[in-house]
Every structure is written in C-alpha cells, then in structure tokens.
Amino acid sequence: MTADTIISVSTISDLRIAVEAWRGCGETIALVPTMGGLHAGHLALVEAARRLCRRTVVSIFVNPTQFGAGEDFESYPRDMARDREMLANLGVDLIYAPSAAEMYPGGVATEVRVSKLGEGLCAVQRPHHFPGVATVVAKLLGQCRPHVALFGEKDYQQLLVIRRLARDLDLDVEIHGVPTVRESDGLAMSSRNAGLSANGRAVAGRLNHLLGDVARRIAAGDAVAEALARGRDALIDLGFEAVDYLELRDAETLALLDEATRPARLLAAVHIDGCRLIDNITLVSGGDMY
C-alpha cells in the first residue's frame, strides 16, 4: 500500500459505510485516535491494533476543545502527507480525518466530564483538557464503533479517564493501553518534542532518569513526601523551567499516596522551551519499579 492508495475519509457517513461493511463480514475493528504529527509512539499503537484486530482505523483530528487559551493549538504539528505515508507503510485500512465542522456541527453544546479521574494532575493547569478529550473520544467511539481502541500509557491520566468513560457509558469497546515508546535517552516520544531546542532536548532527556531516581529512593525506604520534594528541586536544578507536578498516585484510582504499599504510578509534568512534557513510571507493591 502507498500513501496515494490508502483510503481516507473525512465524513461520519463515509466512515460508517466502511466500518459497517467490515462488521457485516464479521471482521473486528481497532481504532487508534491521534492528532497527527505521528511518531514511533503512534506507530506502536497501530502495530498493536493490527495484532488485535482484522481492520485498523486511524483518526487524525487536532481537537480544538482540549486546548485552552494561549496553548499550542495553532502551532501543533500538522503534516498529513507525512502521516499518510507512515500509516500506508504499516498497512492501515482507513484514515479518518474529519474537519472541526464535521465533528462539532453548530458548535459544542454537549460535553462529557469524568469526575475524580479527570481532576488533579494535568487538570489543575488545564481544566478544559479532559472534558475536551472525553467528549471527542466519546464521539469517535460512537462514529467508528470499534471493538478495540488503543491509547498510550504516556498519557496515563487520559487512559484512565477514557477507560472510565467507556465503562460508565456502557460502550461496547475494549480500551487497550500500550506502553510508552521512548527515545534512546529515555525521553517519552511526543509530537511536542519537535518544539525543543538542542539544549532543551538535552534537558528533557533527563526527565525519565529523574523519575527513576525518585522511584529508587522510595523503594529504598525514603519517605514519599521527602523523595518527591527532592525530585521537584532536582528537576529545576536540571534546567526545567517549571514543574506542574511530581506525584505518587494509585495506579487505578489516581488517589494521592504517601507510601508505596500498593500498585502506583509516579507522574510528572514539566516545562522546557515553552513545551509542556509529561511522563510516568510504574511502582508495584513494596516500592519496586519498572
């Protein structure tokens, strides 16, 4: 398959014609929602989708409702030709690339909110973000009706929000999380990494290592509050401009933890070169990490 021959649709009606034909043949369908600017992390989602289902749909839509004033909606990477070529090389069956008018005809009158999981962490600095994400994902799932939808664990809070959304709205879809794909120095792959300067990129590559250091201190018996405070100071010393959070949370509920006695996630959000980067690692009962 080539970028010229891969099927691409931009309307809900054309999407439904394709997926209903597949369903009529008894074929399973996986959806990989993206905002484009594809990188190896997205491709890992596609590869997992192709292993799980007979057909794979990738949506490309830079969703305006999850961006706030002053954020990077206008500058968010957009390169449909490059994205098409990457997806064609992986044998994706269909690209769904709707316009904002197709997704939100007449504007946004209905909004989906997921309480508790959609609060705290990224929601503190970006209160608009998870309602925007939950609403557009609910729409994409309703439009495509996939058997499986895949999301990366880098956006861990988002993954839990979407799992709860699917459960609470009785959506007949499996939400499948895929482990974070990293650069050679450990930096979690993100479309926003393209906005980093050479110096900023070098600093950003230390984030995951710092998370590992904090996790090891906790595993060695350091008090969680002390390890987190030292970690926040270390991030600033490394050159990050600001730290939105560095917190230990329950892996299922995202409740704050003051000790690592059950499965947990160590999550961070930092700023460098005007880019906001997030990452997380897993701790299991007893403070061990992986």
How far CA 53 is from CA of 23, 27, 149, in Å, comes to 12, 8, 10
Q: Which residues of the chain have pLDDT under 70?
A: 1-4, 284-290
Domain extent listing, the chain? 7-178, 191-283
Report the alpha-carbon distance of residue 153 to residue 182 in Å, rounded.
12
Distance, in Å, from the CA atom of 274 to the CA atom of 112, rounded to the nearest integer, reads 29
Please, which contacts does 197-200 make with residues 24 or more away whose CB atoms are closer than 8 Å?
A: 197/273, 199/239, 200/272, 200/273, 200/275
3-state secondary structure of 243: strand
Residue 262 is which amino acid?
Answer: R
pTM of the model: 0.94
Instruction: Assess whether 42 carries a catalytic annotation.
Output: yes
Q: Convert the pLDDT of each residue in 246-285 to its tens digit.
A: 999 999 999 999 998 899 999 999 999 999 999 999 996 5
Q: Which listed residue (39, 42, 129, 147) is catalytic?
A: 42
pLDDT at 290: 47
Q: In this structure, which topology does domain 7-178 adopt according to CATH?
A: Rossmann fold (3.40.50)
CA distance 230 to 129: 29
Angstrom distance (rounded) from CA 148 to CA 134: 16
Distances (CA, A) of 81 to 36, 98, 206: 10, 15, 32
Strands 29-34 and 55-60: parallel
Question: What whole-number distance in Å separates Cα of residue 41 and Cα of residue 194?
Answer: 14
- Encode pLDDT of 5-39 as tens digits: 789 999 999 999 999 999 999 999 999 999 999 99
The SS3 of residue 24 is helix
| 8-state DSSP, 93 | S
Matching CATH topology for 7-178 and 191-283?
no
Q: Which among 220, 211, 225, 200 is positioned nearest to 265, based on CA atoms?
A: 211
* % of the chain with per-residue pLDDT over 70: 96
pLDDT number for residue 122: 97
3-state secondary structure of 266: strand
In CATH, the number for domain 191-283 is 3.30.1300.10
Residue 20: count of CB within 10 angstroms of its CB? 11
Residue 15 CA to residue 18 CA, distance in Å, equals: 5
